[in-house]
Amino acid sequence: MITAPAAHAAVASVTTTVDGKLAVGLPSNAIWVKASVLASTEPGAAVLLEDERLTNDGQATWTSADALKLPDGTAFGRYPVRVDYRLPGGTLQQQTVGTFDYLLRAKVATVSYDRTSTDIDNPTAVLSGTATTFDPSTGTTGPAREGMPVQVHVKVEREWPNKSLIMGFRPEVDAQGKFTVNVTPEGRITGGQAYLETQSTVTASHPAISLPSVSATEAKVRIQADTEKRRVHKGQPFTVKGRVEKLTNDGWKPYANAAVQSSLSAPWHWDGPVNTPLGTGTSAADGSFSYTAKATVAGTVYTYAKPSAYLRDTYTADSSAIAVPEKLSFGSPAYSMDEFGTVTASARVYGASCENELVGFQYSPDGRTWYNLKGINTDYYSTNECRVKVETDGYIRGYYRFYHGESDRFVAAAAAPKFVQRYLTRFVGHKYSTSRPKTNSTMTVSGTVQRQVNGKWIAHPGAKVMVLVKPKGSSEWFWSVKGKTNSKGVYSLKAKVYGDATWAAITEPMNGYFYSETKDTYIDAR
């Protein structure tokens, strides 16, 4: 007597293995198991095949001994399965569960590479494989259908930059069931998989086959390089030239077709500057190379064969310094000259880290040809701003400016110039009305003040004159009397005599005029 299965039916699943066998999920302690493949799900459907030779794997799965072959003429497809079984202490039970997949079974049967290692001269490995199809209706295996696509996924470990990736390919099977793929890994092949795309409802694909690994053999390279310039402006091109060689069984030989690049970081750093080189090129047959590079910041230029799996632990680079001056500018320049000819000037200096930068203070008689008067260093003021100030002897007239010549740190820059001048002055005919004045009397101090205009001495009307006196025995001067010159530049001043003293006259400060003084005169009072 057959009973219906309990609510917790014992048959967990019915599946078809990759090699066309029937697998029933049933407790391992079942006393008896029979699987029947039915023609359809209709009541009373014909039994196409019965199998009582299922064996247990000890893991609650009962599997047929061989791939099942349905009666001749049976179409490929998926057929329902009825399972009859008896468990210990139980009655005979029956369940219709799952399907038997009566299909062609295609797979990638073999894969291999033509080499066990790639190297700098042989960077490509050829993957060859065969694909087969098993026909359960005949029990035979032959080449997979021509044109069937193969999904190939190659796992690669690249050392520079350090990166894991999967390279994908999709070759097609030929008439003999074969396929090939050229793999240029630029690193170590660490495995992968390949499987067929069946693209058919009557063909099932086996799980993917694993791919073998292929190592990467390192090479030794040496390089000599130089830059044509040591200083360039930001973005200005410069040329990198040199020669690269590799070590062979016959010694060092030219390394032709080598990818060469320059960066502001050594290749063993594996950082951003290496990934964004200043310039790149390819070596010629004799190992020589020449290419254009551009830099935006100063630093050390490293030139090397582009890192790869084949140069992983043998990096060599030639280096040279490159200066890329940054922008510098002046602001708010101020210039003045006092009556003694001392020029005072100041300005703001704008530039990154501009402190302690040498700046020249220059003079020009015509605004075209400039002469250095003095060099001064900038003082820090704030971020990206410095100050500069100078005092130095100047000229009667001319242009003045601050100037920074181009250096490795900054480009050339000049402050706006300014024309500065004063007129020379002098005393003419300075005299005292008496050489032996009486004590507490007055004497007349007179003379003429002149100014120089266009190289000629003319009267200086309105000049401020001060008469000074230094009493005998004193080291200090005192002013005695002040006055101005008349329209002819003449002055005549009354000075009180208090005793023996040294006398002199000077011009008081006036905008646009230099200071002038007379000789000292000692007068002995009576």
Signed CA dihedral, 346, 352, 354, 355: sign only = positive
pLDDT band of residue 317 (cuts 50, 70, 90) is confident
Cα–chain center distance at 48? 71
Q: What is the pLDDT of residues 269-290, one digit of tens each?
A: 665 556 789 999 999 999 999 9
Confidence (pTM): 0.60
Q: What percent of the chain has pLDDT over 70?
A: 96
pLDDT for the residue 265: 83
Quote the pLDDT of residue 161: 63
pLDDT over 50 at 293, yes or no: yes
Give the rounded distance of the alpha carbon of 518 from its chain centre. 70
Q: For 403-425, how does the pLDDT look when each residue is reduced to its tens digit (9 = 90+)?
A: 999 999 999 999 999 999 999 99
Instruction: Show the domains of the chain with their CATH numbers.
Output: 2-102 (2.60.40), 105-216 (2.60.40.10), 225-322 (2.60.40), 329-420 (2.60.40.10), 425-523 (2.60.40.10)
pLDDT for the residue 393: 96
The predicted model gives 49-71 an average pLDDT of 95
Q: How far apart (Å, rounded) are the C-alpha atoms in residues 52 and 67?
A: 14
Residue pLDDT, tens place only, 500-512: 999 999 999 999 9
> For residue 357, is pLDDT > 60?
yes
| Residue 189: φ, ψ to 5° | -85, 120
Mean local confidence (pLDDT), 226-234: 90
Task: Kindly state the percentage of the chain with pLDDT values over 90.
Answer: 84
Q: What pLDDT does residue 45 have? A: 95
Find out whether 166 and 154 touch, Cβ atoms under 8 Å: yes
Range scoring the smallest mean pLDDT among 46-55, 190-199, 299-308, 358-367: 299-308
So what's the pLDDT on residue 269?
Answer: 64
Separation between Cα atoms, residue 416 and residue 395, nearest integer Å: 18
Task: State the pLDDT confidence band at 1, using cuts at 50, 70 and 90.
Answer: very low
Q: Which of 148, 145, 143 is nearest to 194 (CA)?
A: 148
